[in-house]
Structure 1
Amino acid sequence: MQDETMAIAAEYNSEAEAEIGKSKLDSVGIWSTIRNEYMSTLYPVGTMPAQLVVRADEVEKARIILKKTK
């Protein structure tokens, strides 16, 4: 995935919330990863959010999936 252009699909205040979002995307076949997952646990809420990133060509689909399943 290093050669792919990545985009932020969502930001979360905790690693746990990001993992839930990642699971939702995994279930529909959208590859994702969490950026800042460890840093978001070390810093105060909102300082460094956990970012759920996907391939840029799937970002809109990912955002729709994440909004539908809130």
Structure 2
Amino acid sequence: MQDETMVVLAEYNTSTEAEITKSMLDSAGIWSTIRNEYMSSIYPVGTMPAQVVVRADEVEKARKILKKTK
């Protein structure tokens, strides 16, 4: 992947919640990754949340997918 701007789509208190979101995005063909995945498990809730990030050009599409699941 080239140097692209990444945007934080959502933050979660647990890496499990972030993994669920990443899985939904993957199923829709949207590339994503999780920042702070392991650190969010080590530190107390809210200190260092797991962040799901996507490419800037896919943010709106990703938000629509997450909105459908709420």
Q: What band does the TM-score fall into relative to the shorter chain?
A: over 0.9
TM-score by length of 1: 0.93
Instruction: Determine the structure 2 residue equivalent to 1:51.
Output: 51
Instruction: Determine the structure 1 residue equivalent to 2:28.
Output: 28
Aligned residues: 70
TM-score by length of 2: 0.93
Identity %: 81
Ranges in structure 1 where 5+ consecutive residues have no aligned partner: none
Ranges in structure 2 where 5+ consecutive residues have no aligned partner: none
Amino acid aligned to 1:35: R
4+ aligned runs moved over 2 Å, structure 1: none
Deviations 1:9-67 (A, max 9, x none): 11111000000000000000000000000000011111110000000010111112112
